[in-house]
Every structure is written in C-alpha cells, then in structure tokens.
Amino acid sequence: MNEDERFRDENEPVENRQGLTSEVGITRHSEEFPMIAKTLAELEDVLAEELIGLGANNVEIGTRMVSFTGDNALMYKANLHCRTALRILKPIYNFKAETADEVYEAVKLVNWDDYLSLNTTFSIDAVVYSHIFTHSKFVAYKVKDAIADWFAERYDKRPSVSLTNPDVVFNIHVSHNKCTLSLDSSGESLHKRGYRVAQTEAPISEVLAAGIILKSGWKGDTTFIDPMCGSGTILIEAAMIAMGIPPGIHRQHFAFEKWKDFDEELFSAIYNDDSGTRELKHRIIGSDISPQAIAIAEKNIKNAGLKKYIDLSVKPFQQYTEAPDSEGILITNPPYGERLKVDELEVLYAMIGERLKHIFSGFNAYILSYRKESFDAIGLKHTRRFFLYNGALECEMREYEIFSGKRRERPKEEAGREQRKEHDYQAERNSKEGYRRSKRAEREGEGQDEFDRPARQERPERRGGRPERGERSERRGERPERPERRGERSFKTERRPYEKRGEPGERNDASRHNTGVKPFKKEYPPRDRNNERERKPGGFRADKEFEQKGRSFDARSKDRGGFSREDHTLRERSYGPGNKGRKPAFGKEDKPGDFKKRTPVRSGDASNGERSRRPRTQEGKEPRLRRPRKGE
C-alpha cells in the first residue's frame, strides 16, 4: 500500500536519545497534534470535506489518506462522524531506518510507560511500502520485540500481546526508509458500523456506499431509489446521510476509550449531541429480485432503527412501469459477473439502460460497475465518471441524466450548467486515479498502434505466374531507405508488402514478428543456371510456371512415369483424360530395352514416330536424361 504520510515540520516530534517524555505522547485536550485519516482510493476529497466540516486544521490530501491537525475532541468527532474514514491515527514517533535492527533500536527509545502498562494488552498493525523491508509481519515482530524488551529491562516483566481484542493498537507505517509509529484511535475498521447483522453474497462496503452517495451530491433533497438493493447497505447509508445520523453511533467501542488520557465526559457529550440531525422529507425506496436479499435488508434496516424511513419490496428492475416521483436520484450496484455469476450480463445491463430511458425520466442515475462492456451495453451517454475501487477491482461510477426524447432535441442549458459540466470534466481528468487509468489506456493504445501494419496490397497481375525480371528489379529499386543505425526500427506505413524486411547482417527487431500480420513472402534473386548445384550431365531445371501449378518435370520426381533412379523400378505413366481407355505401352514386367522402344513422346521432345535419341546404356544401368534441344 502506497500512502503519502507527510507531516509539517513543526508538528513532528523531536527525537530525544534519552527517551521520549510523556509530554510528546500525551497531550492536553486543548492542544492540537497531527493526525492521519485513512480511506479508500479516490475518496480522499470527500473525506477532506468531512474533516473541514468538523473543524480540522492544516488539511492535506495524500494517497488513501488525509493528514490534519486537531485536539482530542476532534479525534473523537472524526471517529464518530466521518463516513468515508477507515481509521484515525495519531502519530507519536517518526524516524528513519535502513535495517530491521535500526527499527528495533529506534522503537526502544520511546518512553512506553506513557502508552502501556504491565497489565494492558497491545497489538501491532504494520503497513510496508519499501524496497528495504518486504514483509510487513517481520516489521511488526521487530516493533513488538522492542516494546517487550523495553519493559523486560526495567520491570523484568512485559505486557501481553492480543490479536483479537487488544487494549492498545499501534500502527507502524514504512515508506522506503521513513517510518511512522502511530496510535490507532479507532480499533476495528470504521467501515464496521455495527448495524449489519446479515449480508448477501457480495455486499458493498459501508465506506464505499457512503462515498458514492456523497460524490453524487445528494443530501436528502429528492427521492432516493436503489432497485437492486441487496442487503440494503446503500439505503441505510443514504438514510443516515439525509437525517444527519453519525455513522459510528452503533459501534460498541473505540480504541481511544482505553487510552490513559481518555476523557469520558468529553466523549459522552460528543456522542449524545444530536444538533446535526434532520427530518427526512423524501422517500427512500429499495427493491430486489431476490426475496432472500430483501429479508436480509429488512433485518439490517431494523437494527439501524430506520425501518419506518425506508420502503422495501420484492420487485425485479424490469417490472418498474412508472417512476416513484417526477425527479430524484437512482444509485445502484449491479452484479459485475465476478463473485455473483450472471448468465447474460450484457442483457442485464441493456435492460437497465432501457428502464432508465423509458421509466426514470427526470432522474439522475449513478451506476457502479466493473466492466467497460457492461457500461457499453447500457446504451446511454454518461455525463460524469468517477474512478473508484470496490475491493481490489478497478470500478467506475457513471452518472446519467435521464430525459425524454433525443439528446440533440434538448434545449440549450443555462451558462451556469455548462460551466459546471466543464468543471466536472476537468475534475474527472485531474483525478489521480482517472489520470493514471487514462495514461495507462494511452500507453496501451500507443503500444497497439506502434506495431500495426497497413493492409496487404493487391499484387499486380502476373504473366506466367511471376512478374518479369525487369519489373522485379525495378521494384527493388523503389525500396525505402533503411535506418542508418543498426537495429533501429522503422514504422513507415509506405512499406510495400513484398519488400524484404532487412538487409543481410542487419539486426531485425523481434517486435516485427509480433504484428499479427501474415509475413511477407521472401523474394529470391534470379537463379543462375551455371552456378546451380552440381548436376549430372544431361540434367535440366524444372519450369517455374509449371512448378507453381504443382507439376514437376524433374527426372527424379516420383510423379514421373518410366524409370526411377531411386529404386531402379518402372512405373506406369498416365496419358491424361483423353487416353483413359488406352492401355499402357509397357507392363510392369517389361525390361529397360522395351521401355526405350515404347516410351511415349512428349510434345517438344521429338516428332511423332521418331525414335528416342537417348543413348543406349548397359543393361541394368540407369538411363541418362538430357534436356531436349530446340527444334527436336
């Protein structure tokens, strides 16, 4: 995990080689100290707005975190009221380390009496992003050993470690060689609200559900509907946002309640403060095709105390025949086809687009999904995109403004609306995750275009099966110039398809063979009859025109009748379709002497009736062939 935890110099504790005193670790209620709120990727801006609304100072956005300063009251409020925070950390010690032993020695410098006692239990949560330390648990073990040895050297006894329900939780964050040791004020992750008693197969995180609602800008001013609600997480978070109910109101405890400086009276006053609650003025509607999912949603909604504010029903999305209101907001999280298998995923998303277009006119719809093909199947043009993560999946939430008629028939919108759209586009483009994904898509597109080759051109008509020799040499003269440096690529689109790839001795790049295009046919130089392989006297070269048609006149060819040089046997010769009824001139038992007298004469070899001029050979020896002369 890559987290940029930057702190202001004036807020960083000063390293004391004699040990850190309690004034560094324990602060008074009115004094401000640095804190870190961890969140999901692309929800940092929403979390920063929440912290500013609670009164945080020096708010700075990082990667999956927001740093800020405040007092104990703000720390209590952040744990209780932040809907998009996962943990609230309180840094107590910053140091640099290049080895595990340096981590051990640095942690032993802390005055651990300020945070622990012999009767308290603790645990270590390590987050490592470093080329030096590659295993987070190893770093956690080193920190644990340093704390245990610190107490053993002073009291001959050490506090116990508890992984299930510790009294104090420490967080060690390592970014390369920079280490930050913090107190975890939350304990369990803040996405565990406390109202969920049951869940469906693939529930959405409470932090992500609250984040997409806050990104949409909905605050309870219109009707809200989730037609594929599942276990009801989005509905519950929407109701709590609309009514101003703190998300941590149902939690049993927070980790800071066991700290030595915990102010129970202050936290009780913050917990019981209901000045921010509001009355719900619009309906919140949920439905699902599964009766089991609706039963689970009813249990969770009842446990959250919101039963009378949320309407549930078993109803498939395709059975909606009219919208519940003239305008409103629709937010849903359909199946992605990953954990929940859907037989026809594109059909499902096409149905969603059809219902949105024909039923929910006047609504703003927000669809959270994973696959680009699913968004394409919706068939509607989105107005905004939000890049998010659902677990490890790179997801998107797209906004659709639903209206009746065609887009080009809509009247021109006001100037303020156009400015908002332009601002939203710039915000989308400048989003960290959006920028990263867009650059990755550009690289993938460039990598694909880089090796694209033009379509093969039609070759000119050939005479006799191949172009004339002069024509071939002329084409070779039109070859484009090669790069001057060896091994340098050439991506010229004017390359003729029948030209050679490279000169002899030139290094050919391996990427040329990965183009997916059928390789070009290699062109050989004209054959020199005088410098061919050594042939026996009388041998002749096969005609290229007939060679392309699959016929060979080589004397060694197995298709040629007569005498075979390989096995010294005679084979029958075919006389073509016009001689089907004609018997062969010789039989299998004929001798070479008969063969010489009865061999059929080919056109161009000799005139009909003329005896063969093939020289006589001794009996049992191979008859020699020669090329026929002109006029014979």
**264's tokens:** 């129970």
- Helix (H) or strand (E) run with residue 211 in it: helix 206-216
**Structural domain spans, the chain:** 9-184, 206-250+274-408+420-442, 539-632
Note whether 9-184 and 206-250+274-408+420-442 share their fold: no
How many of the other CB atoms lie within 10 Å of CB of 434? 17
Rg of the Cα atoms in the chain: 41
Confidence band, pLDDT 50/70/90 cuts, at residue 151: very high
What average pLDDT does range 505-526 have in this prediction?
Answer: 49
Task: Give the contacts of 166 (CB within 8 A, at least 6 positions apart).
Answer: 121, 122, 123
Q: What confidence tens digit (pLDDT) does each residue in 223-241 have?
A: 999 999 999 999 999 999 9
Query: CB under 8 Å, gap of 24 or more: what pairs does 574-578 form?
Result: 575/600
Q: Considering the domain 9-184, what is its CATH architecture?
A: 2-Layer Sandwich (3.30)
Question: If we measure between CA atoms, which residue out of 118, 121, 77 comes closest to residue 254?
Answer: 77
Residue that wins the pLDDT comparison between 329 and 515: 329
Q: At what angle do helices 233-243 and 206-216 cross, to 10 degrees?
A: 50
Window from 188-202, 437-451, 506-520 with minimum mean pLDDT: 506-520
> Residue 194 — left, alpha, or beta (φ > 0 → left; ψ -120 to 50 → alpha)?
left
What integer pLDDT is reported at residue 445 of this predicted model? 64
Nearest to 90 by CA among 146, 38, 55, 20: 38
| Separation of alpha carbons 514 and 503, rounded Å | 20
Which residue in 391, 360, 362 sits closest to 378, CA to CA? 360
Beta pairing partners, 397? 368, 386
Element (H, E) at 240: helix 233-243
Instruction: Note if the pTM is more than 0.75.
Output: no
Q: Tens of pLDDT along 261-317? A: 899 999 999 999 988 899 999 999 999 999 999 999 999 999 999 999 999 999 999
Q: In this predicted model, what pLDDT tens digit does every residue of 483-510 receive, in sequence order?
A: 445 444 444 444 444 444 444 444 444 4
Residue 610 pLDDT > 90: no
280 in Cβ contact with 242 (< 8 Å)? yes
Beta strands in 272-403 (DSSP E): 284-288, 310-314, 328-332, 363-369, 384-390, 393-401
Instruction: Please check the confidence at residue 422 and state whether its pLDDT lies above 50.
Output: no
Decide yes or no: CATH 3.40.50.150 for domain 206-250+274-408+420-442: yes
pLDDT averaged over every residue in the chain: 75
Write out the two tokens for 92: 């107590």
Query: Average pLDDT of 246-257?
Result: 94
